[in-house]
Structure 1
């Protein structure tokens, strides 16, 4: 079971840890998809980016569960 991490007196539950860790991964992946021109092929860009962030978060949560 993943554990809470304490940062400056604030305890972060595993879900918040995954959300924070997913942000730089998402930004890097979004930047690379824009540079490659993949996002021009997407029908609704904001919907695609939201789904991409959700998939990254879900993957990190599954990975955190498997490691503990």
Structure 2
């Protein structure tokens, strides 16, 4: 069970920790997909990136609970 984390007197619940941790993971994945050129085949890039961020967040939340 993940615990609350404190930064400068502000408590972050586990969901906020996962959301913050997902940002660099998402940016790395997005950079890699752009570098390989797979985003050329995506119809709506913003929707794809939003869905990718949600998938990264969900994966981190599932891993944090294990």
TM-score by length of 1: 0.95
Aligned partners of 2:51, 2:38: CA distance in 1, in Å? 15
In the TM superposition, what whole-angstrom CA distance separates every residue of 1:2-41 from its partner, at most 9, and x where no partner exists? 1100011100000000000000000011001001000000
Aligned partners of 1:16, 1:40: CA distance in 2, in Å? 32
- Quote the residue 1:19 is aligned against: 19
Q: Which ranges of 4 or more aligned residues in structure 1 deviate by more than 6 Å?
A: none
Aligned partners of 1:39, 1:23: CA distance in 2, in Å? 19
- Quote the residue 1:44 is aligned against: 44
Aligned partners of 1:63, 1:32: CA distance in 2, in Å? 22
RMSD of the alignment, in Å? 0.5
Query: Which runs of 5 or more structure 1 residues have no equivalent in the other structure?
Result: none
Aligned partners of 1:65, 1:55: CA distance in 2, in Å? 16
Aligned partners of 1:19, 1:46: CA distance in 2, in Å? 18
